[in-house]
Amino acid sequence: MLLEVIKIANKAPISINKNATVRDAAKKMRENNISSLIVEGDSHEVIGILTERDITRAVSNNDINKPVEAYATKQVKGITEDTSIEDALLIMIENGIRHLPIMDKESGRIKGIVSIRDLVNSLLDQHYLQYGKNASEVKGSGYVCPVCGSEIDEYGYCNCGTGSG
């Protein structure tokens, strides 16, 4: 069973204006307990995404008072709402990213955002739903991963990596 990414996404992503400071962005992330912000232009168009990694770069450069536009990723990789969790995870791994905006196919507007943490938690939860136990409890027991169908080995791993315990 392939679960669509929109079912686990944050459907109300928080945005920040491109002219706000990195300091403002860090405060907004902390207040909302999130790890990324959608960066918008003056007409509320999406121009990028700012993540904790970007803030770390700004802090290391002593640039916390610079506008977020200076550190935001502008070539944002997005997915559609019918993308599977597994495909979204592969996209993140292949591109070295941790956040993916979910775009509406018709309008191109952002419908949500998903983080690598959201994806991994949803995959690990599938083990719990299947067996009533987390992956570390089923390692080496002959249980089969509900995601990829391979046996979870004595170290708690399966072929897709979601069985890591």
- Residue-wise pLDDT for 86-132, tens only, equals 899 999 999 989 999 998 888 878 889 999 988 888 777 666 666 66
Asked if the structure places residue 163 within a domain, the reply is no
Tokens of 38: 């959608």
Specify whether the backbone of 33 is left (phi greater than 0), alpha (psi in -120 to 50) or beta: left
Q: Which amino acid is at 152?
A: I
Residue 155 lies in a domain: no
Tell me whether residue 19 is in a domain.
yes
Residue 22 has a pLDDT of: 98
**Is 49 contained in some domain?**
yes
Domain membership of residue 43 (yes or no) is yes
CA distance 59 to 72: 13
Instruction: Indicate which CATH number applies to the domain containing 76.
Output: 3.10.580.10
Q: What's the pLDDT tens digit per position in 61-79?
A: 999 999 999 999 998 888 9
Q: SS3 sequence, the chain?
A: CCCEHHHCCECCCCEEECCCEHHHHHHHHHHHCCCEEEEECCCCCEEEEEEHHHHHHHHHCCCCCCEHHHCCECCCCCEECCCEHHHHHHHHHHHCCCEEEEECCCCCCEEEEEEHHHHHHHHHHHHHHHHCCCHHHHCCCCCECCCCCCECCCCCCCCCCCCCC
Number of domains in the chain: 1
In a domain, 162, yes or no: no
Q: Model-level pTM? A: 0.69
| Domain assignment present for 20 | yes
